[in-house]
Amino acid sequence: MIEITEESRQGWHVVALRGRADALACDQLQARLCTALEGNKQVAVDLSAVDYISSCGLRAMLHAAREAQGRKVRFAICSPSAPVKKVFDISRMHEILEIHGELPC
């Protein structure tokens, strides 16, 4: 299960996730991220409270990043938790996504 909250901070629209970014949450996550891109110049995804991310969660992030690129919106991942950072390192997501250690990006 995943909880998704949104707020604005220092020029960023921050989408904060809590829980598991897995196959059960994938469609909801992807839809919320794409909706967040509408009308915002900068979108950050706070992953500090995510304890698990699956390949489906990664796909949602990549899809949103591609959408952001097409809309000329800056899209960044911020504060990945230790388990998420490990998955990102293994999958070399830092080569594809803008990833920062802290919020706001």
In a domain, 59, yes or no: yes
- The CA distance from 4 to 26, in Å, is 12
Cis peptide before 80 (omega within 30 of 0): no
Question: C-alpha dihedral over 83, 48, 56, 65, to 10 degrees?
Answer: -130
Q: Specify the number of domains making up the chain.
A: 1
Which of 64, 62, 53 lies closest to 86 in space, CA to CA? Answer: 53
Which of 12, 9, 76, 7 lies closest to 47 in space, CA to CA? Answer: 76
The CATH number covering residue 93 comes to: 3.30.750.24
Structural domain boundaries, residue 57: 2-100
The residues facing 44 across adjacent strands are: 14, 76
Residues in the chain where the model's pLDDT stays below 50: none
8-state DSSP, 25: T
Q: What is the pLDDT of residue 103?
A: 74
Global pTM? 0.92
pLDDT tens-digit readout, 85-104:
999 999 999 899 999 988 76
Q: What percent of the chain has pLDDT over 90?
A: 90
Pairing of strands 74-78, 12-21: unpaired
Q: What is the pLDDT of residue 56?
A: 95
